[in-house]
A = this chain, B = another copy of it.
Amino acid sequence: MASADDEDPLIGDLSEGAVLRAILARTAPAAHALLGPGDDAAVITTPSGAVVATADTLVHGPDFRTTWTTGYDLGWKAAAVNLADVAAMGATPTALLVSLAVPRGTRLSYVTQMADGLREACAALAPGCAVVGGDLTVSELMMVAVTALGDLGGRTAVTRAGARPGDVIALAGELGVAAAGLDLLFQRFRDGETPVAIDSTKLDAVEQHALDRQLRPHPPIGLAPAAADAGASAMMDVSDGLTLDAGRMAEASGAAIDFSGAALDALAFGGDRQRALAGGEDHGLLAAFPSDAVREHGLPAGFQAIGVVIEGREHGVLVDGTPVVHSGWDPYRDWDGVVSD
């Protein structure tokens, strides 16, 4: 009679080929792939002749913990954060490459659920995009390095550097909700066994939403091309916190960004302005739009005005004219260095 172990073997007891087959059985066909997984490399169509490419890694410890993060959630998040970076250029994601390092003691189901999460995040956030290749290796530490590719569809890439004084600063997506979810994890689920069963009965609906968004971010990928078409002068995704990321846009653009406190309070999850400014991982789209375009056409769907670009790089980021103390997530400064299994 088959034991649970036979049904869900350890990665270390399987050949590389067996693990890959189990993963590839769960990847979806990529609409843009001329050639998918299985050869030395994949081939992806890029009709415009320009491919957008970005890479982001999730490491056990600073970026996720198997205590809290299921394989599905890890796959979802690894896809979402990379899709958001492609979208932030005004492009449509076309393909993911996934380099996966897993300890030998990992169950196969963790890895196949990760493949499910990757597939479903693509389907939900960037239809037509899928995993076209990658790499699998054993490691003492779990790590997922994703590269996302995208197509600009003939558009010019929208960088962080184009914001000009007078531009309207607008945001699509949520603000502070992922940070609220992280606070919940640390406050309520820190000291449990591995994995911690996150007991939903201990959470109200608002808390459950925050936890969902922390574990499975929903960046508004599909809004990005329209923002580029609407003339966005600068755009980026808010991954490390609004203050830190807006500061990067301001610095790159040689200007300052002045947020409206009232607009932030209205958008901030739970009305928590401080968390909205400092909390990372929402992966909303922060964009600057020339004011005359906004006057004429309004902001593109899904974007809400939260500030203006002003003169003077030295002012950095402000709220209602008052400089904000630099805050946000820097893994080199902020992570406590403790790896919790």
Residues of chain A touching chain B, judged by Cβ–Cβ distance below 8 Å, are 11-12, 14-17, 19, 34-35, 38-57, 59, 61-63, 84-86, 88-89, 91, 95, 97-99, 101, 104, 132-135, 137-141, 143, 145, 147-150, 152, 157, 159-161, 236-237, 252, 330-333, 335, 337, 339
Contact = CB atoms under 8 A, between A and B. Distances in A.
Given A41-B89, A333-B15, A141 B140 contact: yes
A338 to B, nearest CB: 10
Contacts of A101: 57, 59, 143, 145
B332 A59 contact: no
A141 B141 contact: yes
Given A16-B330, A53-B149, 17 more contacts: A15-B332, A15-B333, A16-B331, A17-B330, A39-B157, A39-B252, A41-B53, A41-B88, A41-B89, A43-B53, A43-B89, A47-B49, A53-B147, A55-B135, A101-B145, A137-B331, A139-B141
A39 B137 contact: no
A56 B136 CA distance: 8
Contact of A135 (B57, B61, B89, B133): B57
Give me the 10 closest cross-chain CB pairs, A-B, nearest first: A145-B145, A41-B54, A147-B147, A40-B88, A99-B145, A55-B97, A40-B85, A57-B99, A141-B141, A16-B332
Contact of A138 (B34, B40, B62): B62
Contacts of A337: 12, 104, 138
Given A15-B333, A236-B39, A145 B135 contact: yes
A237 B55 CA distance: 24
Given A59-B101, A62-B137, A157-B35, A52 B41 contact: yes
Nearest to A42: B53
Contacts of A56: 99, 135
Contact of A34 (B41, B86, B141, B157): B157
A256 to B, nearest CB: 19
Contacts of A147: 53, 55, 97, 99, 147
Contacts of A54: 40-42, 97, 133
Which residue among A44, A51, A134 has the maximum number of chain B CB atoms within 10 Å of its CB? A51
7 contacts: A15-B330, A40-B85, A40-B89, A42-B54, A43-B50, A53-B97, A55-B97
A88 to B, nearest CB: 4
A51 B62 contact: no
